[in-house]
Amino acid sequence: MWRHYSIQIKIDDTVYVGSQDAVANMNLLCRLNIEFVCDLCNEDGEEANRYRLFLSLVPSAYLSYRRRYDCPCLCPRRSKHFRYFVAMDVPETEKKCIDSKVNMTILFDQFCDLVERGRKAGKCVLVCSAKGRNRAPAFCAAYLISKERMSRQQAVAKVLEQLLNM
């Protein structure tokens, strides 16, 4: 069911969920009009090493902040365009979240702001985590609660429904 280099869930007209591997498929991102990417990475283990490797491939001129940057798209389109990346450190488990005292509300708000920025630009947003099964869907549920004014149960049900339909 989980395919590498693919987008697993379309939440609404603006937000998609995928694994971190989906970011490598530039043609798919362009076809889906995805110009904003929110990478929910964990600073521990293999995931952090993969992120550091990816950052080493990005020309330093495009790194505006440590965790936010524009990167030119390498797709075959004639018009040159850039993709905006935001990386957020989100622990994998609730226990790690509590132990490290991560304020998830701030991260959810930053994600919702990114989605709003994408919506205003007429572009889509991809939120991705290691496999696109836990953290990324949780952020989408938070987005639905915040922006679509859904209850927690409605938001989780919608994300699960989209997940099961793919």
Domain positions in the chain: 7-165
The model's pLDDT over 33-88, given as tens digits with 9 standing for 90+, comes to: 999 999 887 665 455 555 555 555 554 444 333 466 677 777 777 778 888 888 88
Q: Write down the pLDDT at residue 61.
A: 42
**Tokens linked to 90:** 């989100």
Q: Which residues contact 24 (CB under 8 A, 6 or more apart)?
A: 5
Task: Identify the CATH assignment for 7-165 out of 3.40.50.800, 3.90.1150.10, 3.40.50.2300, 3.90.190.10.
Answer: 3.90.190.10
CB-based burial of residue 85 (10 Å sphere; 0-12 exposed, 13-18 middle, 19+ buried)? buried
Q: Report residue 124's pLDDT band, with 50, 70 and 90 as the boundaries.
A: very high
Q: Exposed, middle or buried, 97 (CB in 10 Å: 0-12/13-18/19+)?
A: middle
CA-to-CA distance for 80 and 12, rounded, in angstroms?
26
Whole-number Å distance between alpha carbons of 96 and 33: 34
